[in-house]
Structure formats: C-alpha cells, structure tokens
Amino acid sequence: MESAGARATWFCLGDVASKHRTLIRELARRGHEIGSHGMSHAKLDRLGESAARRELVDSRSLLEDVSGTSVRGFRAPSFSITRRNLWALDGILDAGYAYDSSVFPIGRPDYGISGFPLGPHRLTAPSGRSLIEFPMTVATCFGARMPVSGGGYFRLLPYAVTKWGFTRVNATGRSGMFYMHPWEIDAEQPDLRREAGAVGAFRHYTGLAATEGRLRRLVGDFAFTRVDEVLAAAGLL
C-alpha cells in the first residue's frame, strides 16, 4: 500500500519476530511503527496475570531489539482486555508501553467492553495511573454500535458497510482504527477447512479472495498512518 502513501502500525508477535527478524527490520526501515501483540497470541485472561505480564515485557524487549525502534503500543491477542482482567492495563504500564489498542467498545461474549468510550482517550488503570487507549472503531446507527474496524467484519460484510462506517466516524472528528491480519491477504495459505469445522471455516475463509482488492480500495478512499502519529496529532502522545 506504499504506492498510496499509507503507513501503518504493525502489532507483531514476539514469537514471529524472533523467526523473521529481517522482515521486522524492513517494516521499521520503511517507516512503519512496530507495536507488540504479545509473544504467543494467547489471550491474556487465559495466560493469567503473571504469565501475561512476562509476555508484555518479553515481547517489547525482543521487538525493540529486532526492529531497532522504540515499541510504545500494545494490542492484546483477540482483543482480550475486558472488565474481567483490567489488571492488564497496569501490566501494560509496568512493561513500559505508552498506549494500548485492545478494547472493542461493544458487548460480546468473548471480548469487548460495553459502553466504553469510542475515541482515543486517557483511561485510568486500576492502580490510578493514566494510560492512552485507542479503541477499535465502531459506528453508531440508530443508537446501536456496529463494528467496522476490519478483520472478519471487513471480509464478511459488504465493502459499503466499512466505507459508510469510517465516513460516519470521520464526520464526527474521530480517527478510525482499521486492522487486518497478514493471512487475510495470503492467497497461498494452507486450506484447513476440514480441521476448522463449519463455523471456523466460515469465519476464516469467507471473503478471502476479495480481501486484497477491498483493502486497496479502502486505502484509496481514506488516508491511513501510524497509530503513534494519530495520537500525537490529538495531543495524547
């Protein structure tokens, strides 16, 4: 997407970075921001506080060493910061991160915090300290919150829904957060539909063939840049 002048924040797994050091260094060299996605992609609540804190520290240290840049942002695997594990906010601060981007401001059984603020802001961790949060983007329609951030929502719903959502969000003066996984534009990934089961196969493989084209269209319709630059422009970072 460099042809469109787009830059991004890459929330990288430590385990992946340790195996693909050249790729991480190249992302940083091209002007992208390197953030942490943990070490193993295990959900924070399943890891437990002690192990999660170790992953927060270890992944940041490794990514800084590999990329040669300061790692200031964190995103929890599977958006796994909820009201049940707000201790993670203090773990993020203790590990030296400046901001988090893990909270989905919707109520879902497996993730999200219902009623959470929609835009980038400073929140108060359980310890009383302040942490910058850039939540995932939802658009409001008839009082209901609709996820338009990317991932499965981008693949499964018509492109017009994402465009409508980001246009609506930008019209309120907010910046939107869009995310994707590398596998979502990997046409040569292994076909594991039999192992995934019907529901898993539907969620993982539906829309893959059209995703890269949709992404190019999205980058043409909106301006994208790094998370740290958006937060700095907002006076938060």
Domain ranges of the chain: 2-233
Average of pLDDT values for 60-76? 98
Lowest mean pLDDT among 15-24, 116-125, 133-142, 183-192: 183-192
State pLDDT tens for residues 121-171.
999 999 999 999 999 999 988 888 989 999 888 998 899 999 999 999 999
What is the tally of helices (H) and strands (E) in the chain?
Answer: 10, 8
Average of pLDDT values for 177-198? 80
The yes-or-no verdict on residue 59 having pLDDT over 80 is: yes
pLDDT band at 234 (very low <50, low <70, confident <90, very high): very high
Average of pLDDT values for 65-90? 97
State pLDDT tens for residues 78-106.
999 999 999 999 999 999 999 999 999 99
Helix (H, G, I), strand (E, B) or coil at 71: coil
Could you tell me the CA-to-CA distances from 211 to 125, 163, 197 in Å, in that order? Answer: 37, 14, 22
* Per CATH, domain 2-233 is 3.20.20.370: yes
Higher pLDDT, 85 or 199: 85
| DSSP secondary structure, 144-165, as one string | EEEE-SBHHHHHHS-HHHHHHH
Cα separation, 209 vs 127, whole angstroms: 46
Residue 86: what pLDDT? 97
| Structure token digits, residue 201 | 């196969």
The pTM score is: 0.93
- CA 76-78-83 angle, to 5 degrees, is 70
State pLDDT tens for residues 23-38.
999 999 999 999 999 9
The yes-or-no verdict on residue 196 having pLDDT over 70 is: no
Cα separation, 35 vs 47, whole angstroms: 20
